[in-house]
Amino acid sequence: MQKYIISKSKLSGIINSSPSKSHSIRAILFSGLAKGTSIIHNYLNSPDIKAMLQAVEQLGAKIIKKKDTLEITGFNLFPKTPDDIIDAGNSGQVLRFIAAIASLAKGYTVITGDHSIRYNRPIKPLIEGLNNLGVFCVSSKQDGFAPVIIKGPVINSTTYLDGQDSQPVSALLILSAFLEHNVIEINVRNPGEIPWVNLTLGWLDKFNIKYVNNDFKQYKIFGHNKINHFDYTVPGDFSSVLYPVIAALITNSNITIKNLDSKDLQGDKKVIDILIKMGADVKYSHNNLIVNKSLNKLLGLDIDVNDFIDAVPILAVLGCFVEGETRLTNAAIARRKESDRLTVITQELRKMGANIIEQEDSLIIKKSILKNNSNLESHNDHRIAMSLAVAALNIEGESSINNISCVSKSYNKFYDDLQSLGVNIKYG
């Protein structure tokens, strides 16, 4: 069992941002849909990306890996029926995106994943959306989770689905662009995680795909699109950046993170603005993010986290170190991630002495004096593991976080980056 052993530390130095997982996944998917050979630079090398690469390969794409570059020859909108079951691993994005695109194939496609995918990452909204389009799509266990079985074609031109989770919406937006229909209408109940839908729309913009967006509640996608091969460099990941940024804030340290596009559409970029509102001295300079020691104490805020739901665990950690009370609201979807993040982060921070209250769709955190703990658990959730590691940086003594191999899912440089910034961290 791998674990992190972490002691109180000060941070200093410069690191490069980790490549964006969300952009990497979309770049690979669009490369598969394209005609010709696309080049993707600076892609994230992680289990989720490997799952997406294997999935598009099973659908007929040809892939060559060269150092940090991918050469992907697409199936040009005509995916083949896979010879075997597609394994999404631990990736909800792979599950939902590939399930939608599989409806373009002639035969049956079966997609499954690990325990979290099969029991905690619902695919029911996407099933509903595809069924309304006339696609045969069922949960094999009839419980709204993977394994899922899909067979096209798309017959109808109007669909409805719940949009609290953005991934099924994004999946249908991408699929609709490549259908032989003049217009596909997508109607969304409870639209949520809007920045991540915007991220997908930005990719449609990249290929000049026409659509109408009516307040994220209704989309009209104009079909008959084809895309050619492209050359793309994956930008830095704001989701991963938050861990060294907040580590610097709670230890009152100076760091710089390179290669971040302040104009990128990633949802977690909004957290930087939240940190500034709390009193943090964080600013952009060219393509760098600079964190300076704060002259003033950071103050807790009421934060609607729906636009950056993956940031809930690390914001809960920050709440333990800032003045007053921090409320993380509109967070229910965090229960349907790799773990039930509201329950899990509450449980683990309480082990350290945190004053934290879990509610149905929110967390309330008050400034706390945390104590080291040698038995913290990641619950096989990368964002829990990294958040607890950050929490340990301003606590006397050693803390241990168990089962940390999951960190590679989104931030495979996490350990190396912390070490390079001077953190007292080692493997146990």
pLDDT in tens, 290-321: 999 987 899 999 999 999 999 999 999 999 99
What six digits make up the tokens of 126?
A: 């996407």
Identity of the residue numbered 390: V
What order do you get walking across the sheet with 355-359 strand by strand?
Answer: 302-304, 325-329, 362-366, 355-359
Q: What is the pTM of this model?
A: 0.95
Same domain, 272 and 214: no
Same domain, 180 and 246: no
What order do you get walking across the sheet with 3-7 strand by strand?
Answer: 376-377, 398-402, 3-7, 425-427
Task: Tell me which of 233, 250, 273 is where a domain ends.
Answer: 233
Please provide the average confidence, as pLDDT, over all residues in the chain: 96
Same domain, 289 and 345: yes
Residue 341, burial from CB neighbour count under 10 angstroms (0-12, 13-18, 19+): buried
Measured CA angle at 275 (ends 205, 349), to 5 deg: 110
What's the sign of the alpha-carbon dihedral 51, 74, 267, 218?
Answer: negative
Same domain, 55 and 144: yes
User: 209: which residues sit within 8 A by CB, 6+ positions away?
Assistant: 177, 221, 222, 225
Q: DSSP readout, 248-290? A: HHHTT-EEEEES--TT---GGGHHHHHHHHHT-EEEEETTEEE
What six digits make up the tokens of 241?
A: 């950046």
Report how many domains make up the chain: 2
Q: Please report, rounded to a whole number, the percentage of residues in the chain having pLDDT higher than 90.
A: 98
Distance CA 296, CA 141 (A): 55
Same domain, 278 and 158: no
Chain segment 64-81, per-residue pLDDT in tens: 998 889 999 999 999 999
How much is the pLDDT for 32?
98
Same domain, 9 and 29: no
How much is the pLDDT for 31?
98
How much is the pLDDT for 20?
96
**Backbone dihedral region for residue 17 (phi beyond 0: left; psi -120 to 50: alpha; all else: beta):** beta
Distance CA 262, CA 246 (A): 18
Task: Tell me which of 207, 233, 259 is where a domain ends.
Answer: 233
How much is the pLDDT for 203?
98
CATH of the domain at 333: 3.65.10.10
How much is the pLDDT for 296?
84
Pairing of strands 398-402, 376-377: parallel
Q: The domain containing residue 297 runs over which residues?
A: 3-17+236-427
Task: Tell me which of 193, 214, 233 is where a domain ends.
Answer: 233
Distance CA 171, CA 192 (A): 14
Q: Which residues are catalytic?
A: 310
What six digits make up the tokens of 274?
A: 């939240």
Same domain, 223 and 350: no
Q: Which of 309, 233, 314, 317 is nearest to 266 (CA)?
A: 309
- Helices and strands (DSSP H and E) totals, the chain: 13, 24
- Contact between 322 and 299 under an 8 Å Cβ cutoff? The reply is yes
Same domain, 270 and 365: yes
Residue 295, burial from CB neighbour count under 10 angstroms (0-12, 13-18, 19+): exposed
Distance CA 357, CA 54 (A): 41
- Long-range CB contact pairs, 132-141, < 8 A, 24+: 132/156, 132/158, 132/159, 132/160, 132/161, 133/103, 133/157, 133/159, 133/184, 135/103, 137/99, 137/103, 140/110
**pLDDT by position in tens, the chain (length 428):** 799 999 999 999 999 999 999 999 999 999 999 999 999 999 999 999 999 999 999 999 999 998 889 999 999 999 999 999 999 999 999 999 999 999 999 999 999 999 999 999 999 999 999 999 999 999 999 999 999 999 999 999 999 999 999 999 999 999 999 999 999 999 999 999 999 999 999 999 999 999 999 999 999 999 999 999 999 999 999 999 999 999 999 999 999 999 999 999 999 999 999 999 999 999 999 899 999 998 789 999 999 999 999 999 999 999 999 999 999 999 999 999 999 999 999 999 999 999 999 999 999 999 999 999 999 999 999 999 999 999 999 999 999 999 999 999 999 999 999 999 999 999 98
How much is the pLDDT for 67?
83
Q: How many CB atoms lie under 10 A from the CB of residue 208?
A: 8
Same domain, 410 and 287: yes
Distance CA 15, CA 278 (A): 24
Distance CA 350, CA 366 (A): 12
Same domain, 82 and 226: yes
Distance CA 215, CA 170 (A): 15
How much is the pLDDT for 295?
76
Distance CA 350, CA 79 (A): 49
- Contact between 257 and 244 under an 8 Å Cβ cutoff? The reply is yes
Same domain, 332 and 306: yes
Same domain, 54 and 162: yes
